[in-house]
Amino acid sequence: MAAMDVIVELLVSVWRIPAVRQSFPLLFLFISFLGSILKELDLVPQSYFSSSKNFVNLYFVKVSWGWTLLLLSPFLLFSSFANQSRSALLKRLLALAVATAVWYVCTGTFLYIEDVTGSCFESKTASIANTFTSKAACRRAGFHWQGHDISGHSFILSYSSLLIMEETSIMTVLKTGGLHRTLLNLLYVALNLIVATWVWMFACTSVYFHSPQDKLLGTACGLLGWFLTYRYWYQKSFSPGLPLQHHQKEQKELA
């Protein structure tokens, strides 16, 4: 597994560069803003990813929170074994519970806003079907719902990526061998691959779907959820805390 160790060490070293960690949140704002301009000017040609029925969207993005938890939870479990810290594991699992609450509240709010601001149309341009007052009922009847559709993709893909960035910062290159080391390395590489996938699909969302304000609002919610937890609340004593000791050292150096 020497090749895997080299890959892991490279990824760890990249994520520990302060400029990378500091600029990563801004990357989503840049992509969202640039992608919106390209979409409005119709400068990006149609492709496989311009259809919402593409494989990655259907089987990854649509259940992106599930994929994030599926890979991140065992990673935190194996990491806690490596550090021999049960209390650290409990704090990280609490952070995942908080993140899940943020996801649930935000996505539920987006759906509510779309319901209360929308109307049901018999077609995309025809008269309103007044008998339907919710998107779900309207679409079940075969009609079209038009409301303020804040981009859930822009929210969840940015928020999940930032969550993974923070929680995988505890990764170290283990010197001991065995199955534990192999599984931890595989999970870490898989989490980096899923982040790359989320960033790519975030870019596709930016250039192919939603209005500019809906994408920027969704992105802002993702960044705000991350900022209020990892950059504010988790730095307080009464919180799950930050996942990485060297991260705290970086903050002291910047202060």
CB-hemisphere CA count at 13 Å for 72? 29
Compute the chain's Rg from CA coordinates.
Answer: 20
Q: Is 153 one of the catalytic residues? A: yes
Give Cα separations from 48 to 35, 45, 130, 202, 238 (angstroms).
17, 10, 36, 15, 47
DSSP 2-58: HHHHHHHHHHHHHHTSHHHHHHHHHHHHHHHHHHHHHHHTT-SPP-GGGSTTSHHHH
Active-site residue, selected from the candidate residues 148, 210, 246, 247:
210
Is the Cβ–Cβ distance between 206 and 34 less than 8 Å? Answer: yes
The Cα 65–Cα 198 span in angstroms is: 11
- Stretch (H or E) spanning 158: helix 152-167
C-beta neighbour count of 251 within 10 angstroms: 11
What is the token pair recorded at 35?
Answer: 């992608």
Residue position matching structure tokens 């691959």: 193
Report the phi/psi class of residue 251: left, alpha or beta, with left for phi > 0 and alpha for psi in -120 to 50: alpha
Does residue 210 have an active-site annotation?
Answer: yes
Q: Which of 153, 180, 246, 247 is catalytic?
A: 153
- Active centre residues (catalytic): 153, 210
